[in-house]
Amino acid sequence: MDIVLSVLPIVILIFLMIKMRVPANYALPGIAVLVYLILLFYFKTDFALLNSGLVTGFWATLTPITVIMGAVLFNNFQQQTGNQTVINRWMSSLTPNPVAQMMIIGYAFAFMIEGASGFGTPAAIAAPILIALGFEPLKVVIAVLIFNSIPVSFGAVGTPTWFGFGSLGLTSQQIGELGLKAALVHLTAGLVIPLIALRYVFSWAQIKQNLLYIYLTVFACALPMTLLATINYVFPSLLGGAIGFIISIWLAKKKIGLAKSEKESLTAAPVSPKELFMALLPLISLVLILVVTRVPQLGIKDLMRTDAILFKANLGFADLEVTQALKFSLANVFGTSSSESYELLYAPAFIPFFIIVFALSGFYPSMKGGVWKMIGQTAKQMLVPFFALLGGVTMVKFMLLNGDNSMVSIIGMSLAAATGPFWGLFASYLGAIGAFFSGSATISNLIFGGVQQSIATQTGLNMTSILAMQSVGGAMGNMTCVNNIIAASSVSGVHRQEGYIMQKTAVPMFIYGIITALVGFLL
């Protein structure tokens, strides 16, 4: 009965969102209430512990909603300044081929952003650019979510790998080994997954005509990522994406592997170097700030994440702790062990999005006196995604209560017990479940890394191979994660399509798992 009631909320959620097309801002809070009642009446969860999930759920929602707000604000800024129009003209002159445009922005550029930041920022930045280029918003959201699964294992300067598995007591050699194995799986998946992403936007005929360029761009990112994974697990996606982004632009300019576009007869208005620089300045600043604040070797990251205490206070229902890096932490919520934190400076919201908008607004005449008005308009756009995320994050918090006896752990251990020595066929799907729930490959690895390690030890399976499958699973699960879907949809202006998007991204997610299982036999 435990497993039935643990799975039931997920089944109902999928039914509501996919079959009934209930919007996420209604479905997710409703399912959160259902999980609350199941925990209260069946699992007999302590009332104070349950209510702590409400508080920590709200606190945890601050990260994704501020990231989304920052990305939407940045997009609004680019539109109002006219920068996006200039970028569109430049991209059209660079290559009028829509497949090339999709690969450059939706795959290579997003690949690099994922390597620097994570947190759902790749889709939030890339999708609006593609939409402005004339692509259909809904199709863009689906494609970008699928594309972005490949670099996730090394996203946010390798956080899912070095931090996600940091509590398992692995040696540097073992972490490097599982990272390389995960990269090899992603490299293999590059043969199939990008084509599926493209198929949601283009016909098979268009894909075939540009197949050489597609594969050259895919592997221009994925191959350096894999090679870098042999020596480092921090920079593979960041540097791989940067290399691939440059190569993809060069290939497009040289028209290597590209079919002649129907748009080539149209002559775009020329873009002067100064005009292009001013249009790209916010994007260049964005990438530079993300790199500088995320790469540990540069020292800024440590300052932004220092644990030095600024002040402490008791709020009555919880202890509040604020660090010098403006990390706001709640602990001992309602007298329980529940805790949650919000990193104002480190979460990619205030830095870089708000900072860039404020710092650069003076360079663009159309923005004079209009920044605060734009912020107000952006805040109004956040109401629907806020309630959707609040419901989703709170549901996850509830399902993680009770530690090893949590609903999420029950699902994971039941799957493992049912498969036994054949666990390698299904290991990646446990990682995907973790990402689906939490919205993060890092959190998925934190939740299920120990479970995967234990299963590997008990069944005699290769531990680093199983952990690599977990890592890939966390990455591939990101494309079906409600949080990421809401983020990409909100930035792209796509409304009430979360269930449809989840339905479409579920197919490549399962195919990704099959590829992982097949490659896993060889690792």
pLDDT at 15 over 60: yes
Binned at pLDDT 50, 70 and 90, residue 301 comes out as confident
| pLDDT tens per residue across span 199-230 | 999 999 999 999 999 999 999 999 999 999 98
Confidence (pTM): 0.85
The rounded mean pLDDT for the chain is 90
* pLDDT score of 502: 92
Pairwise CA distance, residues 354 & 344, whole Å: 12
* pLDDT score of 439: 75
* pLDDT score of 418: 84
Binned at pLDDT 50, 70 and 90, residue 67 comes out as confident
pLDDT at 86 over 50: yes
Average confidence (pLDDT) over 111-118: 86
SS (H, E, C) 10-60: HHHHHHHHHHCCCCHHHHHHHHHHHHHHHHHHCCCCCHHHHHHHHHHHHHH
Q: Which helix (H) or strand (E) holds 330?
A: strand 327-331
pLDDT at 420 over 80: no
| pLDDT tens per residue across span 473-494 | 999 999 998 888 988 998 898 9
Pairwise CA distance, residues 130 & 135, whole Å: 6
* pLDDT score of 267: 52
pLDDT at 320 over 50: yes
Average confidence (pLDDT) over 444-452: 85
pLDDT at 1 over 80: yes
Pairwise CA distance, residues 109 & 101, whole Å: 10
Pairwise CA distance, residues 37 & 331, whole Å: 24
Average confidence (pLDDT) over 431-437: 87
| pLDDT tens per residue across span 138-186 | 999 999 999 999 999 998 888 899 888 987 888 889 999 999 999 999 9
Average confidence (pLDDT) over 384-402: 88
| pLDDT tens per residue across span 255-278 | 999 987 655 544 556 788 999 999
As given in the structure block, the two tokens for residue 439 are: 């919205």
Q: Which amino acid is at 440?
A: S
DSSP 109: I
Buried b vs exposed e over 485-518: b needs ≥16 C-beta within 10 Å? bbbbbbbbebeebbbbbbbbbbebbeebbebbbe
Q: Which amino acid is at 409?
A: S
Bridge partner residues of 311 (DSSP): 322
Expressed in percent and rounded to 5, the helix, strand and coil fractions of the chain are: 75, 5, 20
Q: Return the ∠ at Cα 133 (arms to 127 and 137), rounded to 5°.
A: 45
**Beta carbons within 10 angstroms of residue 82's beta carbon:** 15
User: 54, 364 in Cβ contact below 8 A?
Assistant: no
As given in the structure block, the two tokens for residue 284 are: 């260049």
Q: Which residue has the tokens 């009642």?
A: 37
User: 262, 227 in Cβ contact below 8 A?
Assistant: no
| pLDDT tens per residue across span 176-206 | 999 999 999 999 999 999 999 999 999 999 9
Rg of the chain over CA atoms, in angstroms? 22
The domain spans of the chain are: 2-300+386-520, 307-339
More confident residue, 290 or 475: 475
User: 70, 349 in Cβ contact below 8 A?
Assistant: yes
| pLDDT tens per residue across span 350-375 | 988 999 999 999 999 888 878 999 99
Q: Return the ∠ at Cα 183 (arms to 181 and 188), rounded to 5°.
A: 100
